[in-house]
Amino acid sequence: MKVLMLSKEFHDGEGVSEYCKNLAEYLVEKGHEATIVSFDDKADYHVDQRVKVQKVPLPIEGDNIYSWAMMMNNELKNRAREIVETEGYDLIHCNDWSTIPGGVSLKKHLELPLAVTVHSTENERGFEGDHAELISELEWEGTFEADAVFVTKDDTKNSVLFDLDVPEAKLKTVDPYSHDWQSRILNTYKEILKQKEKLLQEN
């Protein structure tokens, strides 16, 4: 299986980066392939060398985190599309609202399954600032389009269920500090791909 992950940053010690790194290292250990595409944050990272990491620079800065993220997704999409087109991938996995625009576009264009991990929701973060509503809309869109939604804790699960109306059937709580958590994600990937296969055969 080949999995392409999107993250707004990738460096040692940062939460989402560590999540992607641990998951990707598990996947390659099990004989799968994993690529992480992130914004080029210019910070150091250490990862199993079988994991491919692509950091893309962004030539333009936004006037706030929302417009920055929207433009940054352009570069994520571009690089991810090139990789998928040349190497063929099975699944896209994006993290938080900041990579949802890219994840959704890639899913639609490349017709690949999409997994989304919500590390926290805008509601949990206090729904503050000028762009809270736009960010929350992106969280809704991403979880709506996703074939599977992962959350890392119960608080987020409740928010995703009640604030974003995600059906419980496609939602899984996977605590990245629990034992063998990556295998639960891998199993979900396998289920998604099996379902897709089934759908293809039926049509």
| Chain positions contacting another protein, by CB under 8 A | 59-64, 66-67, 70-71, 73-75, 77-78, 81, 101, 104-106, 108-109, 130-131, 133-134, 137
Q: How far is the CB of 74 from another protein (least distance, A)?
A: 5
d(CA 118, CA 100): 10
Q: How far is the CB of 68 from another protein (least distance, A)?
A: 10
Of residues 28 and 70, the one with the C-beta less far from another protein: 70
Of residues 130 and 175, the one with the C-beta less far from another protein: 130
Q: How far is the CB of 104 from another protein (least distance, A)?
A: 7
Q: How far is the CB of 111 from another protein (least distance, A)?
A: 9
- DSSP state, residue 170: G
Of residues 134 and 161, the one with the C-beta less far from another protein: 134
Cβ burial, residue 8 (10 Å; 0-12/13-18/19+): buried
Of residues 136 and 188, the one with the C-beta less far from another protein: 136
d(CA 72, CA 60): 8
Residues 6+ apart with CB under 8 A from 97: 69, 122, 135, 136, 138, 139, 142
Sheet with 33-39: list strands edge to edge: 52-56, 33-39, 2-7, 91-95, 114-118, 148-151, 171-173
Of residues 9 and 75, the one with the C-beta less far from another protein: 75
Q: How far is the CB of 129 from another protein (least distance, A)?
A: 9
d(CA 81, CA 108): 12
